[in-house]
Structure 1
């Protein structure tokens, strides 16, 4: 990344940053001469120029949009931003006005508007111009083009109301988000405590109620008055989350020990009990145990056996064992542990299974007795050892080192000795080598990963090649049978992929398939066009995108040859909050095969219908109605949705006809649900189509019976096998293994399911046959073998998107659908309409190659769903023989429908989902975050999706520079995913998620919703090892080290010098001492352009986004980044880690900031152990 930040100073202070809860002003004395920048010389500003092209000559002061992206933020005399300016993809100036009230609070956040001025100068009278813009010809008109905060009349400046843009959400509408602050009353919050014995084993203790006024009480009511209440103690720990639905409290308690460790979580059905037994805890509670270093060593989810964890002296997780691994009934056939080994830089180098029946405490002691702090590391060697059918080029010197089943191997810095020959360049760009004498080399990079199949000794080998900027330009995956998938990338100056070529073979003897992609971007780095070519065929349009001037995708042209008329032109519309309202023109559909309209609080827009306004207006983002119409029969259909106070969908009522939703639902295709307090479905009333005699087909009237959160029986009062099939009328139908995975399902005739150590099914035995699966150690599914009792065996291979049936290629995907290989060997491009959730709704292809779609013959598949994913039947059941049967199994959520032998489950990757029951049959791997072990999408499947079968959290996609590229909105915590699909961690998940709530939440109120343009949002700034080294050298850490050695030496001379070491260390760590890096880290976030929260409602650990240290995949807030740096500084001068931690904790207590949190000490420890820093 190459950028320049210009800072213009016209008053005494320019920028402000936030350190913890105190305001720190940064006064820069940088003066920049004007070189024709066209900024306003009478304003403070920061101009950021991000260069897009390489140039041997100096680029002009006013670069074109093709040369650079330029943005300017103007600041007032207090350093507060008050105007943001950039150019959009059409070279039109975009201005965002920021206003403050008389007390300096950001009362209003204005939506951006357009200006015809050609430069980036300060726009006078921006507030009035914003109002005029949105009252004028812009396609969304409003008199409320801003969000607005109302504050309490107190010195704390707390927000009491937060109103969003647009009529219906404005201040005074009653549909603001409302905040109130109080303290608890007596008998309002039950007091749960933790009693620890001498072995740190926790016991839950109920001690009456918290005294009145001892807890902070924060009440939040959303736009539809759904209430959530949080009670916090004076340490900021949330003790109770209370959600209210119909005046009924749903209480989740969080119980901490006196060290601040979360020990128990009590969901509503457990916290309601007057007395909680150990059996209650086992079935419904979340339990955690810690060692004397506050490391999590045992964890238990509801209905799941304990998971044990063992660490080495460097706090690296070394061994893990779950309930299935404590038995011999796992895929390894013996009791044991999963192990991970590390190199000296704490990088995982290989992992696998270690057979051992020793208990956790004894094995932890064994590990400690043989492992010093500097030991227990692996090193690369040219003399490999053999394990699991592969040569491992590591020393095998660390614990454990005997009887290992190796499952995954990583090679860093140097390529493995058995690497095959790979071309030395990609699109003419040379790869860097592992020759460390070269100026650019592979040191510090992951170069190869070998992954074993779980079920056998076959290995998949993945190799990665980089260019001189350490960007991935070649990846090669080699299969056991000699096949491969090879990817070459052509990147530009910034690392953006302009072209790629995928070359694939299933086995070495087959012909290679080559798939080439070209990508074109507009001036704001938004994808403008994507084309594709197979082998030497004609270039095919995948998509051409047109964006409206404020950044939202407006038109997408899909399919057809380059230069020809597209097969479909898809149009998108949005409301003032950026929420999708239309796919294509629902009122006046012509050639569009699929049309959808989504209602929130909006009135009926259709000119085809008249009558009273909708009576189901919702303001909090829940969808009130949805309507669709397809070319299959041109009939309008839709649903009306209703929700309870916890935003769980309770009613979905179906409409059909011209004037929906003003017509009365006739009772067909409905889905009504009821829930218990934990969110488990207790009943479903589901109907089917309207029959010729006018009656409605009753499909399901289901009643669920539970043991804890695990359903053990479901009865169907209709006895209709459509939908749910009640195949078991006597006793319980379901049973589970130690990890909460479904083992038996008598309703489907499943007599046994065997799982591997990843809790993925290896074998499913049914009354009609069996299904076997093969996975690699990363959890990727490679093969499915269906063996019926009678008939042929069917084998499906899954190889990096290329899917085969019995050795014959069926299809491979592209961004807008899939490519089918026909019986003649030709390739048919199939395109798909997906709804707002990504459910596949309609597939089409130009079968006769005439450049257009005939809806009567070239619609290949149509799917219509109940809200929880069961497919409608009785209409538009297209079965075109030109489709790929294998590809069309990917339906709800874009996931594969496994209907072989009557299994009828969707495979979401991490778990399997049953749409007839609306729940998973495996526990969420992240259940301790969601508190929903078996629930799908938080029981709101119309608003949210579950892309992987894990948590229903926000998924925030970021690029390598820290900019947000896409956000998949969902409730719960936030997940940050980089370009490689790797999840980044947060050092302090609690406080960091509070900051993300404000960053992502505030962005959600912007109409632009543009995550990729010049006005893009930066989540983190990377702090390189060189920058860290320079920081330490600038404070003369060498001199500090020398002085510290002197202080240690003279203390032995006795009083008054006996305290010299302690005094010297204390002086280093005090506020504004040499080892206080808080201001440095805040400056990094400001100069890096991170998103900043500019009102008084700061999160506990400050604003300013995050810092990512070069060799880490963890994000640190400003406060914790300072702790990280302090830890490293003390390491450099030789201070013992434990002494440093104790000193940091004592300093926090002495300065009345309270004891260090686990996150504080974790950041200090991680910094202390950080490698790769050079100092003079």
Structure 2
């Protein structure tokens, strides 16, 4: 039997009745056809899947396609997965499965390439796989406590150093608390404030928990660092405890009487006895709720209170932080009837209670899309009506910020001509009368205002007949545009991307044409790039190993036979990158880089690391061919505490010329930093920084440098005096507004907490301008010449990745010229002569870049057209926290291009690196603004940079630290059984127990700059796939922006940005290989070809046939369901959906209700006629069952016993307290 779903077909050979559990045939239409040209074994049970990558009308074995087979034994257990002809050489990738005497799958094997058998089962065993990987354990393995309990005791990983009982596995322990654990007990007293319509809690310390009061879990990682998690009997996480080596690092979670999270107490807080409000305000997270269980007030440490308003549909309609409150303003959002963000803006308003009362009067509180202009604000017509029947009303409006249109394109006078087709593909119109197809439900236009003026950016999105984005047209605030046209193949992979750009509408259009060539599995092979009518450049040629890891990349040149550089990559058995070229044997390579994890060359200064931390890096460039090395030392929280610089092979191999040493407080605030530099003469490292930090809470107030040297950090105290006065001041939102060390007298911020004006003590100024979505569009540097009584202006414009610069003197108007724009392998310099002779004719050049594992630009080079030789434009080497090395290989290069540390732009005037949402100072290793996502990282200071983990991950937009590899992400999940992994804003997020904390996950509001508490929801297929790409796709999209445009655009409602990023997925492959994009290497190919294609479809159908539904609370629900093989709402719904769950309760044969953690007292207060939200849906489920005899009759109730087993409860009733 064969099922055909669009370009997917699945064949099922069903030999035994139990296989109907795997896939039910009766739910979709079937037709019979012959199997593909190869015959699969009739004696086997299997699911065969095929995804065509090019159009076919009949089945074709020769068409581009992804094929896979899953074989099952007689008990319905998977025994082998085969990804057919998926390796670069046309072989199969095979993953066998084995089971122990109890039928448990205890080993997960790495994939092994084999000569193709056209889908037939392979005779591959454990010894074959071990031989291929040259190890005795080419698999991950788990050890359980016992068969009856089945809890994981130990997890081992591939490779000799990680095998079971090696001492470098992950170990788990399950226990109950003891009084000697000294776990503090905090309680709250909560009262209803009728005047403000809010519950107000006070907190007090009431001693310690005693014996057996809490569940205790511990996880010990591969480096023997242990983390403890304590939960109360309701399943709430009470304490997350880490061991720093000499002391515990404790983060407490405190709940009120209604089981709502009320306080988070980070490690730096020391509370005993009565609670000091100053301590709470400076160091703790505080939350308040209304009578609808909605979070309406919150306070982050060191930041003023923030308020939230909700309409009757529980949509957040306005937020106010402390800075907005000082102005009497609110940031509002208006929705259409489908709950889509239509309008955002700023309004005036009163107190939260008064404004909430006004919201409550609005009823539906929607705006309606119309076809005529209803009003005009800030110079833009608005095609939405009903503004007076939605909050806020027009008399209170201060400014519009953004408009989002869906379904149909409004008839603006500035609309570009609508394209009938894009690169040969017909464009989907908004007229459903044409073939019954239209853009209904799709975002079509987003208008975003500049914050500082009333100019707008207009972003259009165009789709093909399949609803795929093939065009994006952005009219910038100056009147020019950037237009992206993507030619997609049948599978949606870009074959060609054309970018058209103008700064001003009157300018000459620049045209960038990119073409992509793929293999039969759509792995990118060749990426070519052409600017205007110039000669086409070959940016990259990729070659993959049989595991689909990028093996070789040939970079640059105009001929595929003569690349500028050939870059080789190597990996260890864990899939971790180990080499970029070979620093011990450069040959013709300009740069070589090596990473050591568990096998450092100099273990005396770089202890072996087994948990994915990097122990050592080695590098060499052709500039001087000196091998250089950093050895890293970490504390038990993975924070870098020492980087030891070495030059192996020299007379003084351990010279420590560029050491960096750090100490931290328990919140991760740096307390001391020492930094060294190569001396002018002699061999003694030159101390350039000995910094001592002083804090008020987490706010840095003073840095004193006792080194007496100003090559590093520059203290405002000169002549070696003691710095006793505060250097820094902050506003009510926790933003730094003064920096005496940098002679900054004041900084002003916009409502996104982005700096708009920096004034120096010498009256020099810097002005920044942004769009309302936070995109920086302009920087103006004003320099005053006191003696001459004149000034000069330097203007930098940022237009969709195209960077312009213009200078003026004496008040004249600058005329910015194009400097450069990014490519997938570096950037295109519009005039290589500008630094040598700006008056000479412009000579463009492709600048190529070597980057390290965290994206630092290490070496820029290009081909000199006159000498036909390679020229190193500049080399950059860094201390771990980002300050650049001096005194060697210091070519000036293109000083206009300042994208260096983690590919962020260095602001030369301040020494800051400009991440999208915050500015970072590498001199002192911290941000000067509060992390917008700090609630997800409450265990540390929200000014920390990348959790002080600067070697094995990167800082994403100034928001959060992202691990380096997908394998590491999986490792984290395996190390933390209580961890939750979510795609939030298409960003991978790990949290410990947020589902336990009242089932909430803290995330960024999609259209606003604030944070909110969202109901926990499973990521959809779009989120997870884009999130996969985002983790690896950090390179720039040519001529546009970065691969992050995809998820940024979707997150922020910037649909043209979303469109601009589409072409970037292919370019991410160019940098990191297709294996990276599809779930991390060759195993990902199998998952892509089999799991996603076949297993997910089979799973969806099988779920409809399951007879048992599990209900309950949080994590314990899913543990309970998995233990018994029951379904939960996650099997048929993306997040909680009342109607879907009600249908399931009626349709399933049996209901199994896990009452562990269920609060009968809260149930007694449940109002079945009140609003339903994530906070009370379990109460709703229970109420529904007990008020429906047919549901109650088929429900069995359970509770978890002390030994972890689930016991059936007889005569259970939630009404019995």
Shorter chain as normaliser: what TM range? 0.7 to 0.9
Aligned match for 1:698, one of 687, 695, 698: 687
Instruction: State the match for 1:799 in structure 2.
Output: 799
Q: Conserved in 2, the CA contact under 8 Å of 1:491 and 1:498?
A: yes
Aligned match for 1:818, one of 822, 827, 830: 827
Deviation at 1:416, TM superposition (A): 1.2
Deviates more, 1:120-129 or 1:623-632: 120-129
- The CA distance in 2 between the partners of 1:851 and 1:647, in whole Å, is 47
- The CA distance in 2 between the partners of 1:319 and 1:1153, in whole Å, is 42
Aligned match for 2:422, one of 420, 426, 431: 426
- Structure-2 change in CA distance of 1:264 and 1:991 (3 Å): farther
- The CA distance in 1 between the partners of 2:590 and 2:78, in whole Å, is 47
- Structure-2 change in CA distance of 1:1010 and 1:761 (3 Å): farther
Q: Deviations over 1:647-669 (max 9, x none)?
A: 11111010013279xx7522311
Instruction: State the match for 1:475 in structure 2.
Output: 472
Instruction: State the match for 2:286 in structure 1.
Output: 287
Deviation at 1:449, TM superposition (A): 0.3
Instruction: State the match for 2:1183 in structure 1.
Output: 1146
Q: Conserved in 2, the CA contact under 8 Å of 1:384 and 1:391?
A: yes
Instruction: State the match for 1:463 in structure 2.
Output: 460
Deviation at 1:102, TM superposition (A): 1.5
Deviation at 1:417, TM superposition (A): 1.3
What is the RMSD computed on CA atoms of the aligned residues? 4.0
Instruction: State the match for 2:1081 in structure 1.
Output: 1009
Instruction: State the match for 1:163 in structure 2.
Output: 156
- The CA distance in 1 between the partners of 2:737 and 2:920, in whole Å, is 14
- The CA distance in 1 between the partners of 2:629 and 2:69, in whole Å, is 46
1:361 aligns with 2:368: no
Deviation at 1:14, TM superposition (A): 2.6
Instruction: State the match for 2:225 in structure 1.
Output: 226
Instruction: State the match for 1:198 in structure 2.
Output: 192
Deviation at 1:564, TM superposition (A): 3.7
Instruction: State the match for 2:1152 in structure 1.
Output: none
Instruction: State the match for 1:772 in structure 2.
Output: 767
Deviation at 1:111, TM superposition (A): 0.8
Instruction: State the match for 2:16 in structure 1.
Output: 11
Deviates more, 1:981-990 or 1:780-789: 981-990
Unaligned runs of 5+ in 1: 18-24, 135-140, 329-334, 605-610, 1036-1070, 1080-1092, 1109-1114, 1156-1176
- The CA distance in 1 between the partners of 2:962 and 2:305, in whole Å, is 25
- The CA distance in 1 between the partners of 2:1093 and 2:357, in whole Å, is 40
Instruction: State the match for 2:1211 in structure 1.
Output: none
- Structure-2 change in CA distance of 1:446 and 1:166 (3 Å): same
- Structure-2 change in CA distance of 1:496 and 1:181 (3 Å): same
What SS does structure 2 have at the residue aligned with 1:469? coil
Q: Conserved in 2, the CA contact under 8 Å of 1:1021 and 1:1106?
A: no
Q: Conserved in 2, the CA contact under 8 Å of 1:461 and 1:477?
A: yes
Q: Conserved in 1, the CA contact under 8 Å of 2:857 and 2:899?
A: yes
Instruction: State the match for 2:408 in structure 1.
Output: 414
- Structure-2 change in CA distance of 1:1138 and 1:794 (3 Å): closer
Q: Conserved in 1, the CA contact under 8 Å of 2:647 and 2:653?
A: no
1:832 aligns with 2:832: no
- Structure-2 change in CA distance of 1:938 and 1:1097 (3 Å): farther
Instruction: State the match for 1:951 in structure 2.
Output: 960
Deviation at 1:642, TM superposition (A): 0.4
Instruction: State the match for 1:1065 in structure 2.
Output: none
- The CA distance in 1 between the partners of 2:1137 and 2:449, in whole Å, is 39
- The CA distance in 2 between the partners of 1:215 and 1:386, in whole Å, is 60
1:503 aligns with 2:503: no
1:718-733 matched pairs, under 5 angstroms: 718-728=707-717, 729-733=723-727
- Structure-2 change in CA distance of 1:151 and 1:957 (3 Å): closer
Instruction: State the match for 1:675 in structure 2.
Output: 664
What SS does structure 2 have at the residue aligned with 1:451? strand
- Structure-2 change in CA distance of 1:153 and 1:621 (3 Å): same
1:517 aligns with 2:514: yes
Aligned match for 1:636, one of 627, 636, 660: 627
Deviation at 1:457, TM superposition (A): 0.3
- Structure-2 change in CA distance of 1:979 and 1:759 (3 Å): closer
Q: Deviations over 1:329-357 (max 9, x none)?
A: xxxxxx2101101111000011000111x
- Structure-2 change in CA distance of 1:118 and 1:152 (3 Å): same
1:32-71 matched pairs, under 5 angstroms: 35-36=35-36, 37-55=38-56, 57-60=57-60, 63-64=61-62, 66-71=63-68
- The CA distance in 1 between the partners of 2:578 and 2:1118, in whole Å, is 33
Instruction: State the match for 2:113 in structure 1.
Output: 114
What SS does structure 2 have at the residue aligned with 1:890? coil
Aligned match for 1:486, one of 483, 494, 502: 483
Instruction: State the match for 1:555 in structure 2.
Output: 552
What SS does structure 2 have at the residue aligned with 1:945? strand
Deviation at 1:273, TM superposition (A): 5.0
Q: Deviations over 1:938-962 (max 9, x none)?
A: 111011210210021459999xxxx
- The CA distance in 1 between the partners of 2:365 and 2:725, in whole Å, is 56
What SS does structure 2 have at the residue aligned with 1:289? strand
Determine which structure has greater relative contact order: mean sequence separation of CA pairs < 8 Å that are 6+ residues apart, divided by chain length.
2
- The CA distance in 1 between the partners of 2:544 and 2:110, in whole Å, is 17
- The CA distance in 2 between the partners of 1:490 and 1:363, in whole Å, is 49
Deviation at 1:875, TM superposition (A): 0.4
Q: Conserved in 2, the CA contact under 8 Å of 1:733 and 1:746?
A: yes
Instruction: State the match for 1:323 in structure 2.
Output: 322
- The CA distance in 2 between the partners of 1:1131 and 1:487, in whole Å, is 48
- Structure-2 change in CA distance of 1:955 and 1:125 (3 Å): closer
Instruction: State the match for 2:392 in structure 1.
Output: 400
Unaligned runs of 5+ in 2: 1-5, 194-198, 718-722, 786-790, 807-815, 835-840, 990-1002, 1007-1012, 1032-1074, 1148-1167, 1187-1191, 1201-1217
1:72 aligns with 2:81: no
- The CA distance in 2 between the partners of 1:1132 and 1:431, in whole Å, is 44
Deviation at 1:980, TM superposition (A): 15
Instruction: State the match for 2:304 in structure 1.
Output: 305
Instruction: State the match for 2:1062 in structure 1.
Output: none
Deviation at 1:601, TM superposition (A): 0.5
Q: Conserved in 1, the CA contact under 8 Å of 2:373 and 2:381?
A: no
Aligned match for 1:342, one of 316, 335, 344: 335
Aligned match for 1:788, one of 769, 783, 790: 783
1:899 aligns with 2:908: yes
- Structure-2 change in CA distance of 1:75 and 1:972 (3 Å): closer
Instruction: State the match for 1:911 in structure 2.
Output: 918
Instruction: State the match for 2:345 in structure 1.
Output: 352
Q: Conserved in 2, the CA contact under 8 Å of 1:929 and 1:973?
A: no
Q: Conserved in 1, the CA contact under 8 Å of 2:470 and 2:486?
A: yes
Instruction: State the match for 1:712 in structure 2.
Output: 701
- Structure-2 change in CA distance of 1:589 and 1:1023 (3 Å): closer
Instruction: State the match for 2:526 in structure 1.
Output: 529
Deviates more, 1:337-346 or 1:88-97: 88-97
Q: Deviations over 1:176-231 (max 9, x none)?
A: 11111111112532222232102311222323223322322111111010110111
- The CA distance in 2 between the partners of 1:265 and 1:749, in whole Å, is 36
- The CA distance in 1 between the partners of 2:857 and 2:605, in whole Å, is 28
- Structure-2 change in CA distance of 1:872 and 1:564 (3 Å): same
- The CA distance in 1 between the partners of 2:372 and 2:1146, in whole Å, is 32
- The CA distance in 1 between the partners of 2:456 and 2:966, in whole Å, is 30
Deviation at 1:1124, TM superposition (A): 4.7
Deviation at 1:270, TM superposition (A): 1.1
1:861 aligns with 2:850: no
Q: Conserved in 2, the CA contact under 8 Å of 1:88 and 1:1014?
A: no
Deviates more, 1:725-734 or 1:714-723: 725-734
Q: Conserved in 1, the CA contact under 8 Å of 2:569 and 2:581?
A: yes
Aligned match for 1:621, one of 601, 612, 618: 612
- The CA distance in 2 between the partners of 1:946 and 1:1123, in whole Å, is 34
- Structure-2 change in CA distance of 1:1099 and 1:844 (3 Å): farther
Deviation at 1:281, TM superposition (A): 0.8
- The CA distance in 2 between the partners of 1:498 and 1:253, in whole Å, is 52
Deviation at 1:90, TM superposition (A): 2.2
- The CA distance in 2 between the partners of 1:1154 and 1:948, in whole Å, is 44
1:755 aligns with 2:745: no
Equivalent pairs, count: 1038
